[in-house]
């Protein structure tokens, strides 16, 4: 049932909401990777790290560098850093270092939520 709800949510979402959902997905996959490291389940950890990487690379690939200007350039640098950092944490099996990445993703998600809110409020 959750999968059906998630599919409907994605199909009816606007672009900003999709970005927010991507951040949420990356955060969840990294949390699952942390749990796998704690449980010494390396194959599952690798799967979740790979899924989080896919999301981060998707966020990077969808940046509009012309329209986004300096913000898009900064996001690109950040996404590429996140991807490298995720790999480093994965190779080290360091679940605590992954927390830094989760915090970064949460802050970015909060920024997109803040951008989206004015769009949702009725005009005065």
- The two tokens of residue 23 are 């951040």
Average the pLDDT over 87-95 and give the result.
94
Distance CA 52, CA 30 (A): 6
More confident residue, 86 or 1: 86
Record the pTM. 0.83
pLDDT of 14-51, one tens digit each? 888 999 999 999 999 999 999 999 999 999 999 999 99
Percent of the chain with pLDDT over 90: 77
Q: What is the dotted CATH code of the domain comprising 15-120?
A: 1.20.120.340
Nearest to 78 by CA among 95, 94, 99, 63: 63
pLDDT at 12 over 60: no
Q: Are 108 and 26 in contact (CB under 8 A)?
A: no
**Domain boundaries, given as residue ranges, for the chain:** 15-120
């Amino acid at each position: 049932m959750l999968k059906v709800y998630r599919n409907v949510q994605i199909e009816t979402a606007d672009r900003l909401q999709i970005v927010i959902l991507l951040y949420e997905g990356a955060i969840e996959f990294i949390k699952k990777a942390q749990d796998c490291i704690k449980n010494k389940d390396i194959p599952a950890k690798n799967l979740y790290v790979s899924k989080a990487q896919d999301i981060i690379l998707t966020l990077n690939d969808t940046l509009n560098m012309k329209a986004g200007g300096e913000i898009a350039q900064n996001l690109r640098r950040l996404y590429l850093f996140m991807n490298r950092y995720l790999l480093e944490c994965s190779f080290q099996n360091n679940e605590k270092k992954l927390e830094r990445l989760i915090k970064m993703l949460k802050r970015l998600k909060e920024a997109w939520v803040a951008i989206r809110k004015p769009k949702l409020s009725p005009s005065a």
